[in-house]
Amino acid sequence: MAVSRRQILTSGTVAGVGLSVAGILPSLAQPAAADSDGHDNGQDSGRPFPPLENDPNGILALPAGFSYKVVTREGQTDMSFGQGKTPAFHDGTGVVDQGRGRMVIIQNHEMTPFMSQFPVPHVPGTVYDPGALNAGGCTVITVDGNGTTLSEWVGISGTVRNCAGGVAPWGSWLTCEEIFINAGATWSAGGQTGTYQKNHGYVFEVLQADSANQIPKPIKAFGRFEHEALAVEKNLKHVYLSEDASGPNGLFYRWTAPDDVRLQRGLANILSDTAGKLEAMQIRMDDGSILPDVAYLTSAQLGRPFKVTWIEVADRDATSTPIRRQFADGDVTRGKKFEGVWANSKGVYIVNSFAFGAADLPADATKHDGMVWFYDFDDETITLVTYFPHNPNFAETESGPDPKYADLVFDGPDNVTVTPWGTLVLAEDGVRASHVLSATPGGPTYAIARNQLVIGNSGGFPVFSEFTGPTFSPDGRILFVNIQVPGITLAITGPWQKYLH
């Protein structure tokens, strides 16, 4: 999420309530793992969450019956083995069951050099690019069954703008760099200058093993571009990847493994740089033509599947031309801010955060404040399942609704996760108030939480940082989510099944 709406807009307020069509996707609310996880597979979408109640500590507004604890906080909590303080700019996050009542949280830190006084330190055995000083990477946090921190240490360093990613079926975290940099490029920040020694814009694997047993090598087979998030299909043959980029807008990709390769731990050592096939998405209209941009579709198309085809990428390492510029307009389907990606056994959810500026979308397309899609693995179709209509009165002017209406207007969905009950949780990166949202594919959208930490002022209105990295503990008891600035990881507990079932 390289450029958030808060960075683009200097005034306005949240706009748009998520729209959907009840009953259009009844089968998608039951992930195949639900039975084995012991969760009910009922069709009901649960109850509306109660109104949010302000936190006396000024951090997180939650419904009655829910509570939170702080897992880590930038610059305050200590990492293990003398590695310093918890780094800043928390972003995409994965949770893996470690057994014996413990969980591992693997967390991105989305930073460029000297972006914060709390970077990811270069720990031996974890460094990809020695030239990417005081920048991003991942930390690995072990917690007990109640979300209490037991340890935190560096999993990868010397990477840049680690944005989102995805948990692999074998328990690793695949972290994505949301940046495109060539080796030899220079940087200047914080009174310091330096030179990148390696190319950036890759996916890396972070293991649950300690710092001395990592593989800080790029998985070049997955391509070099402004990666946002990814999901590995359960058949271990396909990986789906999103691109958050503009000028032109980014693409959605599918990587297919060679016939003789089964994905497993240690991808950077297993896959050659050109292994498999990387392809970009083409959404097909009824006449067979290619939809040039997802913003041409609106709430009128909610629940309607469109056929998807794929076109192969010629130069996945972008040696001379970025991948999205290797395709002419009309050859692929572009989208402003392809962001969160999360898979269940049937398909993968994909988020577009917003598109309303002149540079965001074609002149004859429709402005929007967020889209959530579902790509069906078997049918190879894509369906719009939730839509946030654009409201310029809220988003693009200084006037807006009274703050008491903050929990009634939503916009800017970004990271997404599928709950143990098959519903969705979205992290807002919108304007004004920042929420964690519950969304039922083909059903309603409700506020789960609101950020109360004010980090600035714009046009007389307070500014709040985005939420990032929502993900549930394997047993469904805890929702882990981050506030990006200041970087805080929160463990939220409460009667989840009552409202997300």
pTM of the model: 0.91
Query: Is the per-residue pLDDT at 8 higher than 80?
Result: no
The 8-class DSSP code of residue 87 comes to P
Query: Is the per-residue pLDDT at 42 higher than 80?
Result: no
The confidence score (pLDDT) of residue 403 equals 62
The confidence score (pLDDT) of residue 404 equals 65
153-184, pLDDT tens digit by residue? 999 999 999 999 999 999 999 999 999 999 99
User: Helix, strand or coil for residue 230?
Assistant: strand
215-248, pLDDT tens digit by residue? 999 999 999 999 999 999 999 999 999 999 999 9
Confidence of residue 16 (pLDDT cuts 50, 70, 90): very low
Sign of the Cα pseudo-torsion (8, 445, 338, 393, in order): negative
Residue with tokens 């991942």: 138
Domain ranges of the chain: 5-500
| Average pLDDT over every residue of 332-359 | 95
The confidence score (pLDDT) of residue 390 equals 87
182-221, pLDDT tens digit by residue? 999 999 999 999 999 999 999 999 999 888 899 999 999 9
Could you please state the CATH topology (level 3) that the domain comprising 5-500 is classified under: Neuraminidase (2.120.10)
Tell me how far apart the alpha carbons of residues 379 and 397 are, in angstroms, rounded to a whole number: 42
Tell me how far apart the alpha carbons of residues 394 and 214 are, in angstroms, rounded to a whole number: 46
441-469, pLDDT tens digit by residue? 878 899 999 999 999 887 777 889 999 99
| Average pLDDT over every residue of 134-141 | 98
User: What is the side-by-side strand order in the sheet with 173-177?
Assistant: 162-167, 173-177, 203-206
- DSSP per residue, 15-69: ----B--TTS-GGGG--TTHHHHT----S----PPPPEE--TTSSEEEETT-EEE
